[in-house]
Amino acid sequence: MSGLQPVRGTHDLLPEDSRRHRFVEETAFSIAKRYGYGEIVTPIFEFTEVFSRTLGETSDVVTKEMYTFADRSGDSITLRPEGTAGVARAFISGGLTQSLPLKVMYRGPMFRHERPQKGRLRQFHQVGCELLGVEGPQADIEVISMAWRILQGLGLGDKVQLEINSLGDAESRAAYRSALIAYLEPMRMTLSEESQARLDKNPLRVLDSKDEEDKRVVAQAPVMSDCMTPAAKEFFDQVTSGLTALGIAFVINPKLVRGLDYYCHTAFEFTTTALGAQGTVLAGGRYDGLIGQMGGPATPGIGWAAGVERLAMLIEDLPALDRPVSLIPMGDSVPAVVLADRLRAAGFTVDLGFSGNMKKRMARANKANARFAVILGEDELARNAVSLRDLDAGTQEEIPLAEVERRLGRE
């Protein structure tokens, strides 16, 4: 059994890792609660169509990265690569149109078969939010400001930068697509093979290329702001004015795009230089056409998702754990078990030493960063008493067994 290893691109969340993950999730959900967001939990797997229809048949996720298999009924099933599609499907299948506006948060594992790299795994975890049913820019301002407050709550405010762009409305997008094709088509043969394919099927995704020659070509490409309608410009101006009013700094990145047609208006990312080249830790945007494309009623939406692993890597200092009380039985262990149960019921964190001499048990108490040690010696118990050692002050005194809770709660 010693040769067994986790599957490549997966890892175990040991207690310290789990504590970091839990801190990220609990911080996010605690702050989201103040904004009126409830939790939604969707299945880890869906019918493949849920993702192929929403992510685009030509996207890298669909063509290269999804974990897809046929179940025993012959249905094509996919482990979820992201959270928004499942939430949108739940909105439609759950008949939630009467619940608009709908504000939800989600968390949990996602799955993509991609090359593992720093902060990126094949089974990874996300927290995310979706706000459905609000057309106006106030929704964009709210979800971005909530993301910013969460990052601040994690102590990452000085490590991230907000990048934002407008994808315009449908008219703006159509004009931009035409302008981009007109610019790129004469240089088609200088583009990478992948970008040539994208030029035919989804030209905006050429702007996402990591190929150095592609980057050189698109450096002088038209930008969306050149093609925006007055209404789209006004929408974006209201978003940026709202962020400024909230004191949230941002930079406009004209190359920040989303390739699929159901995206519109605001696209944004919080990026960092602390993790190397792969710098995005939270990304989102408006997707007013998504639910209609999935067969539901036309419903505006906006949301974001953040990688828990990446956020956890950036956190320097976690909140201190509650310091336990260490119980050290020196004879019969039953009185210690009974006292431990009493103290836990009273709200104390208790570390019960099971074996070893006094020196080893005290070393365990110090390693656990215990505040007090309660020593249950046979002589003291015969007097219905225990020895209470203050591990910070280095003092020790005998106290009645019935007084333990009160004395431990003196701080």
Q: For 131-187, write each residue's pLDDT tens digit.
A: 999 999 999 999 999 999 999 999 999 999 999 999 999 898 888 888 888 888 888
The HSE-up count of residue 290 (CA atoms within 13 Å, CB side) is 32
Q: Spell out the residues 6+ positions from residue 109 whose beta carbon is closer than 8 angstroms to its own.
A: 44, 123, 124, 125
Give the per-residue pLDDT at 355.
72
Quick: pLDDT tens for 66-85: 889 999 999 999 999 999 99
Choose among 206, 214, 24: nearest CA to 128: 24
Which H or E run contains 4?
none
How far apart CA 411 and CA 408 sit, in angstroms, is: 7
Question: How many other C-beta atoms are found inside a 10 Å radius of the C-beta of residue 203?
Answer: 21
Q: What is the dihedral of CA 203, 204, 210, 215, to 10 degrees?
A: 90
In terms of average pLDDT, the best of 48-62, 108-122, 347-361 is: 347-361
Indicate the burial class of 373 (C-beta count within 10 angstroms; 0-12, 13-18, 19 or more).
Answer: buried
Which H or E run contains 385?
strand 385-390
Does 3.40.50.800 match the CATH number of domain 325-408?
yes
Indicate the burial class of 85 (C-beta count within 10 angstroms; 0-12, 13-18, 19 or more).
Answer: buried
The pairs formed by 184-187 with CB atoms below 8 angstroms and a separation of 24 or more are 184/217, 184/218, 184/221, 187/217
Write out the DSSP string of 177-215. Answer: HHHHHHHHGGGGGGS-HHHHHHHHH-GGGGGG---HHHH
| pLDDT band, very low/low/confident/very high, at 205 (cuts 50, 70, 90) | confident
Choose among 383, 388, 384, 392: nearest CA to 407: 388
Are β-strands 280-286 and 350-352 bridged in parallel, bridged antiparallel, or unpaired? Answer: unpaired
State which amino acid sits at residue 276.
G
Helix ranges (H only) for 303-397 are 308-314, 334-345, 358-367, 378-382
Give the per-residue pLDDT at 166.
94
Choose among 7, 17, 61, 11: nearest CA to 311: 17
Which H or E run contains 283?
strand 280-286
pTM of this structure: 0.87
pLDDT of residue 60 exceeding 90: no
Torsion sign (Cα): 88, 122, 281, 156: positive
Quick: pLDDT tens for 233-276: 999 999 999 999 999 999 999 888 876 778 899 999 999 988 76
Which H or E run contains 91?
helix 84-93
Are β-strands 301-307 and 280-286 bridged in parallel, bridged antiparallel, or unpaired? Answer: antiparallel
Give the per-residue pLDDT at 120.
66
- Assess whether the region 15-169+229-314 and the region 325-408 belong to the same CATH fold: no
Cβ atoms of 32 and 105 within 8 Å: the answer is yes
Indicate the burial class of 119 (C-beta count within 10 angstroms; 0-12, 13-18, 19 or more).
Answer: buried
State which amino acid sits at residue 210.
K
Mean pLDDT of the chain: 89
Give the per-residue pLDDT at 1.
43
Could you say which architecture CATH assigns to the domain 15-169+229-314? 2-Layer Sandwich (3.30)
Q: What are phi and psi of 37, to 5 degrees?
A: -95, 135
Place of tokens 């570390």: 351
Instruction: Read off the tokens for 411.
Output: 């701080």
| pLDDT band, very low/low/confident/very high, at 411 (cuts 50, 70, 90) | very low
Choose among 361, 392, 391: nearest CA to 376: 361
pLDDT of residue 291 exceeding 90: yes
Domains of the chain, by residue range, sit at: 15-169+229-314, 325-408
Instruction: Read off the tokens for 10.
Output: 């997966």
Cβ atoms of 354 and 372 within 8 Å: the answer is no
